[in-house]
Structure 1
Amino acid sequence: MTLMELQDILGQRIQIANDASITTDVKQKENEVSQTIVALAKQMINNADVVLRAEKLCYECDLKQSNIERMIGHER
């Protein structure tokens, strides 16, 4: 899943949360699903941040032969 796809899903969850036609019981269940999605989304974003930072360091040649380079599969 890409971050753009994640953004679409989060947008859908916001629409559900704001939908006045949904009953309280259904909205509560939907909110529980949304909380799970948010937790996963945070981890995806954190992972992407780690990769971006590592890519920047690799580009700047500060990560030659490092553990982080092996962790993200970016060995040269």
Structure 2
Amino acid sequence: MGVGCGFAIGATGAGAVACGALAGAAANMVTYAIETKVEHKGNVSLGGMLVQGAIGAVVGMTLSAGRRRFWARFHAPGQ
């Protein structure tokens, strides 16, 4: 998913942040589904799936934006 996002919307800017949000949401939703349906750690529900997706989106978006700011400190403009 990350490679596809990178090619589709670029590796910098708002596209990268949106891709981080999408990847985080997808990862959390898949993890939730596996834990509830396969490992029987609880009951699967639409509400639970949506909550996990929202949490993953926020974390993915935050990490993606933070990574961009971190690397911007070490990359001088024009290089």
Measured against the shorter chain, the TM-score band is 0.3 to 0.5
TM-score by length of 2: 0.45
Larger radius of gyration: 1
TM-score by length of 1: 0.46
* Bigger RCO (CA 8 Å, 6+ sep): 2
